[in-house]
Amino acid sequence: MIDLLIIRSNIYTPKGTSALKGRGTRKIHHISDGAIGVKDGVIVDVGKTGELFEKYRGAKEIVDAKGRALLPGFVDPHTHAVFVGTRENEFKMRLEGKTYMEILNAGGGILSTVKRVREASREELAKDLVEKARTFLSYGTTTIEAKSGYGLDFENEVKMLEAIKIADKESPLDFVPTFIGAHAVPLEFKSDKEKYIDIVINEMIPYVAENRLAEFIDVFCEEGVYTPDETLKILEAGLKYGLKPKIHSDEIKSIGCTDLAEKVKVYSCDHLLKLDSSGLDALKKSGTMATLLPGTAFSLKEGFADARRLIDNGVGVALATDFNPGSSYSESMPSIITLGVLLMDMLPEEAFVASTLNAACAIDRGKSIGSIEVGKQADFILLKENSYLFIPYHYGVNPIFETYKRGRRVAHPTDC
Ligand SMILES: [Zn+2]
């Protein structure tokens, strides 16, 4: 007997376990009057309602979707979700035209979040993260990547990763942890960055890896932060311990960070607002995913990454929120899809694939999530409407009717 049978839905899904690229990014499958069967949290059957209802009429629970769209749960492959305190005053100052230095002097910027995170206990961070997870789930996201990077010393980086581990156990949302000790240069090492890099490589990475606190390692590669050479050194040190590399790349200036994709196996290069042609070549040749974060460009009123050029050149594109208190304070993947479609020239089906299967591949989860297929985890959403097109079309509202994680209903946003 199966646990759950969803009938009379409009199923929309990409297919496969690896990233869709080029024109293939438009390929989504539709089953009208569709049904799925779930057992032990896994999809065991997908087909037409008539056929599946015959087979599984004895299912423990049968849900009539009444024609609603059934999609894979969104995967958010780039977040800085572990933080306490918000920075709305800084947001206001930015809109008033204050410079970055003026904001820093008024106590804003990333280092203000570092200060708050250092003051918080592991339990406070975890509790706060579980609360945020409820928002992610109610907007249809069923897995997020979550980074450290606001601790910037051994004790606090470890504390952030431990908080992610606790939240992963306590919330139905799945967390994929990334260590980014090299997210900024801590104030106390302003004049001795080498020393800090040494601590990241020789103290933090070994501990994080040996205690299985992270799966990925990331570096903020940017002018005035970490150079491509320093980034490579840190990523290679992580690789030695089995941590999978990612890069914050070409966000503010193009300084050759994306070229690293050809030198080391990188799972994704993220941001890419200032991607140059040599970076594009490196992505093409290496098959590295481009993870684009339109919420950040939108909030900072910057130009967007060139999604069209990336897709047309055969690069796999994923979308993410970059959820963080400074430059993109939103957990909503439906909003990100809307920005992708209306401001980045992506087709609705491309933005949908970029938020599901390709996003799953950006965090090495293509085999288990990101599509509605037999054998994948039963992470899916029902929309209020009958098509995925309503996500960008009926913008600015929550399109989610219900979110299911491993076959269990975990959010029903119309309740709240
Ligand atoms: Zn980021």
Q: How far is the CA of 78 from the centre of ligand 1 (A)?
A: 6
C-alpha 372 – ligand 1 centre gap (Å): 28
| Residue 353 pLDDT | 98
Task: Extract the tokens encoding 414.
Answer: 């119309």
Q: What is the mean pLDDT of residues 309-321?
A: 98
Encode pLDDT of 281-293 as tens digits. Answer: 999 999 999 999 9
What are the C-alpha distances in Å from 343 to residues 66, 347, 362, 399?
A: 32, 11, 22, 19
DSSP bridge pairs for 179: 217
- Ligand 1 centroid to 248 CA: how many Å? 6
Arithmetic mean of pLDDT, 335-350: 98
pLDDT of residue 101: 77
d(CA 403, CA 102): 42
3-state helix, strand, coil in the chain (%, to 5): 40, 25, 40
φ/ψ (deg, to 5) at 62: -120, 125
Could you list the beta-strand ranges (E) of 14-139: 29-39, 42-48, 61-64, 69-72, 74-76
Task: Kindly tell me if the per-residue pLDDT of 127 is higher than 90.
Answer: yes
Per-residue pLDDT tens digits for 322-340: 999 999 999 999 999 999 9
220 CA distance to ligand 1 middle (Å):
8
**374 phi/psi in degrees, rounded to 5:** -60, 130
Domain end among 362, 379, 394:
362
- 195 and 207 belong to one structural domain: yes
C-alpha span between 317 and 287 (Å, rounded): 11
d(CA 147, CA 160): 8
Identify the three-state secondary structure at position 50: helix
Does the predicted model carry a pTM greater than 0.85?
yes
CATH number reported for the structural domain that contains residue 85 in this entry:
3.20.20.140
CA of 102 to the centre of ligand 1 (A): 22
Q: What is the mean pLDDT of residues 42-70?
A: 98
Q: Are 38 and 4 in contact (CB under 8 A)?
A: yes
The amino acid occupying position 106 is A
47 with 111, same domain: the answer is no
**Is residue 316 located within the same domain as residue 299?**
yes
Q: What is the mean pLDDT of residues 240-267?
A: 95
Amino acid, res. 42:
V
CA–centroid distance, residue 292 to ligand 1 (Å): 10
Model confidence at 106, pLDDT cuts 50, 70, 90, reads confident
Distance 358 CA to ligand 1 centre (A): 18
pLDDT tops 90 at residue 232: yes
pLDDT of residue 166: 98
- 406 vs 144: CA distance, rounded Å: 15
Among 337, 362, 387, the domain-final residue is 362
**DSSP label of 304:** P
Residue type, 286: S
Pairing type for strands 317-319 and 380-383 reads unpaired
Q: Which of 345, 362, 379 is the last residue of a domain?
A: 362
Q: How far is the CA of 152 from the centre of ligand 1 (A)?
A: 15
Together in a domain, 87 and 232: yes
* Number of independent structural domains in the chain: 2
Q: Alpha helices, DSSP H only, in 4-44? A: none
Could you tell me which of 10, 292, 147, 45 has the C-alpha nearest to residue 283?
A: 292
Region of residue 295 (phi > 0: left; psi between -120 and 50: alpha; otherwise: beta): alpha
Q: How far is the CA of 80 from the centre of ligand 1 (A)?
A: 6
128 and 84 Cβ atoms separated by less than 8 Å: yes
Q: Domain of 265?
A: 75-362
Ligand 1 center–CA 79 separation, angstroms: 6
Are 169 and 275 found together in one domain? yes
Q: Which two tokens stand for residue 105?
A: 């002097």
pLDDT (tens digit per residue) in 152-204: 999 999 999 999 999 999 999 999 999 999 999 998 998 999 999 999 999 99
pLDDT (0 to 100) of residue 158: 98
Instruction: Provide the H-helix boundaries in 139-273.
Output: 154-170, 193-199, 205-210, 228-240
Distance 300 CA to ligand 1 centre (A): 14
Give the H/E segment covering residue 383. Answer: strand 380-383
Q: Same domain for 26 and 151?
A: no
Q: Quote the ligand 1 centre to 109 CA distance (angstroms).
A: 14
378 and 399 share a domain?
A: yes
The answer on 250 and 143 residing in a single domain is yes
Instruction: Provide the pLDDT for residue 102.
Output: 85
Three-class DSSP category at 4: strand
Measured in angstroms, how far is the CA atom of residue 101 from the centroid of ligand 1? 20
CATH number for the domain spanning 42: value is: 2.30.40.10
Do 43 and 393 meet the contact criterion of CB atoms below 8 Å apart? no
Half-sphere exposure of 258 (CA within 13 A, CB side): 30
